[in-house]
Amino acid sequence: MSAPQVTGFDLANPPDGFVRDPFPVYDALLEQAPVLRQPDGSVLLCRHADLDRIYRDTTLYSSDKKAAFGPKFGVGSPLFEHHTTSLVFSDPPLHTRVRKIMTSALTPRAIARMEPGLITTVDHLLDAMGARPGAVDLIEDFASSIPIQIIGNLLDVPMDERGPLRDWSLAILGALEPVLSDDQLARGHRAVDEFRDYLTDLIARRRADPGDIETDVLTRLIRGEGADAQLSEIELIQNCIFILNAGHETTTNLIGNGLALLHDHPEQKARLLADPALINPAVEEMLRFRSPNQFGNRETTAPVTIGGLDIAPGTNLHLCIGAANRDPQVFDNPSEFDITRKPNRHLAFAGGPHVCVGLTLARMEGRIAISRLLARFPDYRVTGPRVPGGRIRFRGYAGLPATLG
């Protein structure tokens, strides 16, 4: 099949089929237009080297989204307040302060302590699916339930209060799509309002009855543990919302995408079954091949030239992680799914000072969920029809019907 012509590609108005399968377009962009001006003046970037450099440089490339999110969400609106206060869309000094507190709470030791609870959660879900006659849904019955429990545990959200977390998270992150319907926007605002009300109450209860400072991330965030200054109430609430969201849909997608990829590549699944120690490189390859987060953004702070294109200060850059992870300059046979790939310098967790805070936790969730499902149900089969997530930025399935064999 010949490569599509992409020199007129517009992320805000993509061609038919792009949401379902963007990878042929990414390949063509890497070949024909790796630095592409968009009709709205923003610039789409696909090369691994460009993304890697930009992620490391917080002087020329800002994460602050106040200018971009004002017109998108309305200044002062719930989504505006949430996204412009959260760690990922901030620059120093707010970024440095909040990040210190979060990383001090998510140390490798703290994450290792979560492993036994994670194994129990996964095994309960496998028991429940195994006890059910007929088909299961690997997203609904498995992948989406794991991060909700893990992130719920992280902030010690009481079990019977976790019900709404998933829908809030989907609505708030869904509002980051390049183009939004009125309904998506309204749902996003409503979710921030409800989530903020819930957390205001949870934080008041935790202040009255603090948790263990060693293990309870919410108590650490309230006290500003690990940094010189405490967070304001708004910073605290919005960053709790952010942590709950950041770790949810992304990890669900890692597990769901990973199980679908193994099903679609039976020879790779057989290799993993024969040598379960390959689970770590297999998870890295799943992250590269179908990154849960396909796009990041930065804004230029000064004039820059990238790939011969002069870019003015204040320009929004779309960083296509999904394309960079298939850049032939960095990866041999990039369109091949190879669970033993080495080296695998993918950018699924971005890089530089904003590199994902939860990457060790996400990798552990992926490793345990996928390896335990595979050990228990080696003959699982995705039967379809698959329900695509329908997003450009966050790539995953909304439904993955399967039999367990």
Q: d(Cα 250, Cα 293) in Å, to the nearest integer?
A: 7
**Structural contact between residues 260 and 382, judged by C-beta atoms closer than 8 angstroms:** yes
Using the rule CB under 6 A, give the single segment among 193-201, 267-275, 326-334, 351-359 that binds ligand HEM. 351-359
Compose the 380-399 pattern: x for residues touching ligand HEM by CB under 6 A, - for all others.
Answer: --------------------
Q: Among 6, 114, 350, 370, which residue interacts with ligand HEM (rule: CB under 6 A)?
A: 350
Q: What part of residues 56-85 is at the interface with ligand HEM (CB under 6 A)? A: 63
Decide: 293 and 348 in contact? Cβ < 8 Å. yes
Q: Single out the segment in contact with ligand HEM by CB under 6 A; choices: 136-144, 346-354, 373-381, 389-397.
A: 346-354
H/E run at residue 403: strand 401-403
- Contact pick of 69, 195, 349, 380 for ligand HEM (by CB under 6 A): 349
87 is a contact residue toward ligand HEM (CB under 6 A): yes
* Residue type at 382 in one-letter notation: V
Please state the closest distance from residue 249 (CB atom) to ligand HEM, in A: 9
Q: Residue 277 gets which letter from DSSP? A: G
Helix (H) or strand (E) holding 387: strand 387-388
Positions in 271-310 near ligand HEM (CB under 6 A): 292-293, 296
Could you say which of 34, 78, 188, 247 contacts ligand HEM (CB under 6 A)?
A: 247
Applying CB under 6 A, the site for ligand HEM has a residue count of: 23
Among 94, 243, 259, 272, binds ligand HEM (CB under 6 A): 243
CB of 245 to ligand HEM, least distance (A): 9
Radius of gyration of the chain from its Cα atoms, rounded to whole angstroms: 21
Among 84, 85, 145, 251, contact with ligand HEM (rule: CB under 6 A): 251
Long-range contacts of 111-115 (CB under 8 A, 24+ apart): 111/360, 111/361, 111/364, 113/215, 114/150, 114/153, 114/154, 114/361, 114/364, 115/364, 115/368
Q: Which of residues 141-180 bind ligand HEM (CB under 6 A)?
A: none
- Segments of 184-327 assigned E as strands: 295-300, 304-306, 309-311, 316-320
SS3 content of the chain, % helix, strand, coil (to 5): 55, 10, 40
Least distance (Å) between residue 402 CB and ligand HEM = 20
Q: Which residues bind ligand HEM (CB under 6 A)?
A: 63, 87-88, 99, 102, 243, 246-247, 250-251, 254, 292-293, 296, 348-350, 354, 356-358, 361-362
